[in-house]
Structure 1
Amino acid sequence: MTHPSHGAFWFPFPALPDIGYTGSIESFVKEVVTVKHSLIRWGLALLGVGLVLGGRTPVAHAQTEQPGALVKVGHYTASTDLLNLSQYYQTTRQTRVAVAYVPTTHFGKRVMRTLTLPKGTVVAGYLTQQKHGSRLTPALLLYASRLSHYRLATAQPAGYTVDPTADTDATPTVITGTKQLSAFKRVPCPKYMPAYSHGDLYLGGATAALSPEEPHQTSLRITPDGYVELLTYATNVRTGLGFYQQPTSQAKIYQTRFNDPYRKLYVRHALPGLHLTHVKNSGLRQYCLTLKNLHRPQHIAGDPLKGVAGTFDSLYLVGGTPYYTFIGFDGASN
């Protein structure tokens, strides 16, 4: 798995325009979407980057889900267009989607499998538009590999692992058509998701976050569908799949309490390898895992002459143990 904060190249435009639509998908399907609208969004993205580098637009200090907004990241100002600002969707009924899997121990052809998502499942993705002939039609692109191992394993062939490289703007998990799109509704970012993070945290503090080495020890993952997973890096698999194997421990999140800087996740049972607080003797919320945002983001400078953007990482204490998570780019590249 390539951690984006270590030598990642930044492309000056989003691969697909972000529509930023917050209403129901069914309503969106009924609207007329034009190329002009897309060009305006691209222009706004460019304007956002320009403001980061020298504008005087007011800056927000709290987390926001608004695209094109300016926020403070430590001593820096960043555009949310360059941070990990995911959109989240919840299934309104049981539905099936296509997910890509690849051979676990060797490079080979990926295979597609049908994954069933129960009603109420939350997934990360974004609503965009795709061109079919002379028409633009709405499409929902889903980042399937961010789902829990518990869910992905239900469709995973023996000897295969979900393909994390498929979670790009070319993801094969694409929802189109009025009927299929109506199975998803836009929802706010779940409270259990760390701010501007895809949910993947890695063991270590500031030193580890600033290190050029790829993480290769322990990862904590908070998934969009509401699971906590502790993963140990697997060395006997192909490159990029080390943190996508069977978790050493995992649990469903039944409740979240957020009071900045603390995010408390309540689960039914203990998680070996993590320090949880025992709060009840019965029920679904017997243990509590506390994530504390230290609000000391780390910045790795890029190289504008080489087209390499700087990156940001957030530092956390997870049950008292230091972790970090990649949260986005600074946009300072050519």
Structure 2
Amino acid sequence: MSLKLSATQIRCFLLLLWIGIFLSQAEPLILALNYGGFTFLGVLGAVFANSTGAGGGVVFMPFFNQLEFSVATSVATSFAIQCCGMTAGALTWWAYYGKLKSTNPTEIQDWQVLPKLIGITVPLSILGVWLVQILPQTFAYFSDPQSLHTGFGIFSICLAVAIFATVLLLKNKPLKSKLEMFDYFALVIIAFVGGGITAWLSIGVGELLAVYLIIRGFNVTLAIAAAVILSAFTVWGGIIFHLVETKAVYWPVVLFAGMGAIVGGVLAKQLVLYFSARNLKLFFAGWVFLLGISTLPL
């Protein structure tokens, strides 16, 4: 109960903070007329991001391209919006985990691994983001925008196909609830590499973690919750560079899209819990497939 109250208090604080920032603007009504439409974009992006763990950048980036944002502005602004939406989603999923511990001793067995997943992946993901941001020349061979988008798109499509296959071939396989030695090794690679990809695309690490856990046979809702929480920590780690170094965040868009993202981050859990495990896998695989298509430079 206290965990749920804590999450609610933080959401209320964020809402009050947003109202204060909005009212402090020189011409808040004109600002709302010009950028209020981004609120819906924030809701849409956060709903998909927090119901799949794959990140909302795939929704935001095409709109930013239409606005002719630079690459740095697009990535920085996407990071800032996700700091709002993924944080709201992470708090919501963590509160759900706390509720399971106190009310559902059967299902919580599948979720006991959540703290360990977060403890392993978060530091390495943030390290991956920081290394790419601070030392981009070290990864110059891998950081060509077109080749990276192409590689990530193809990889996402392959992962989606793999999830579809698990739905068809592993219908009655019991859920895993413990990490094996192979999982520890894989999680280290996924978190570090995914963090680096996220630094370039503003998406990546959450998708990779969720797909891996689903394919390995863990609870699909757990996989999404872990991916959302990891993504939230990752974007907070990554936004520091853009605040201090690039200063490329486009704040008028963040003000309204961020508010919408907070709403979407809270609502997403209900969407996930509405689906059965099988249908949730299909929904997730479909989203990852579309994400892969969208990142291909067609």
Structure-1-length-normalised TM-score: 0.24
The higher relative CO (CA closer than 8 Å, separation ≥ 6) is in 2
Structure-2-length-normalised TM-score: 0.26
